[in-house]
Amino acid sequence: MGAHRQALITLTAALALGAAVAQPRLPEGEKSITLVTRDGQRTRIGAVIFEPADPGRASFRISMDHAVLKDHFLSMREFKCLPAAQEISCFVPYPYPHPGTVSATDFSWLEHNLLFFFKQPADFGAKLWNGMIFTFKLTPSGLVGTPQAVDLNRIGAPPERPDEPPFGRFDRDDFSPGSRWVQELRIE
């Protein structure tokens, strides 16, 4: 009986300690948007401002740093891009009205507001079929986004349902590890 009781006390203590571990929380206030490249460089490209909204949700506003993202005139449009010798990554603003909110389990509208495409420096034109969307996970230090492939041509026309993000989980494909110059997008 003594061993059983000791095991019960140990289990109760372990559960209590587990509950005391810091759980990730929705970001609040202004947070930096940082791209992490394959060589480990971190480049701050902008900021997101989070404000409380409905219970369990936060609204967000994105502001990109145009001193870091350089102008590229591609396919008759101007894009803000992070140049690199290996691969150029260009920001594509989501062009339609949307709710602009997130929850601890749903970052889809934030993901849609941080779309990019990539191209080789020698390539001409915007390669919208080479789109990247960053799938976010909430961590104790903030949000960590992993790039996935999407075809940005899909947002060339307004969506039928403006309250529903156009790139669902079946519209995204994983990249091979290390295949993209930009490896992560962090919001901290």
Domain boundaries, the chain: 26-187
**In angstroms, how far is CA 169 from the centroid of its own chain?**
14
Residue pair 85/67 in contact (Cβ under 8 Å)? The answer is no
Please, which pLDDT band fits residue 186 given cuts at 50, 70 and 90? Answer: very high
pLDDT digits (tens, 9 = 90+) for 71-84: 766 665 677 888 88
Q: Which residues contact 68 (CB under 8 A, 6 or more apart)?
A: 43, 44, 45, 46, 82
Residue pair 185/147 in contact (Cβ under 8 Å)? The answer is yes
Closest CA to 133 of 161, 166, 96, 97: 166
List Cα–Cα distances, 148 to 59, 113, 133, 151, in angstroms: 24, 14, 5, 10
Q: What is the pTM of this model?
A: 0.83
Amino acid at 61: R
pLDDT digits (tens, 9 = 90+) for 96-135: 999 999 999 999 999 999 999 998 887 877 788 999 999 9
pLDDT (0 to 100) of residue 111: 98
pLDDT digits (tens, 9 = 90+) for 137-178: 999 999 999 999 999 999 989 989 989 999 999 999 999 999
What is the spatial distance between Cα 43 and Cα 45, in angstroms, rounded to a whole number?
A: 6
What is the spatial distance between Cα 94 and Cα 174, in angstroms, rounded to a whole number?
A: 21
Amino acid at 40: G
- Is residue 92 scored above 80 in pLDDT? yes
**Percentage, residues of the chain above pLDDT 70:** 84
Residue pair 104/26 in contact (Cβ under 8 Å)? The answer is yes
Closest CA to 132 of 87, 164, 90: 90
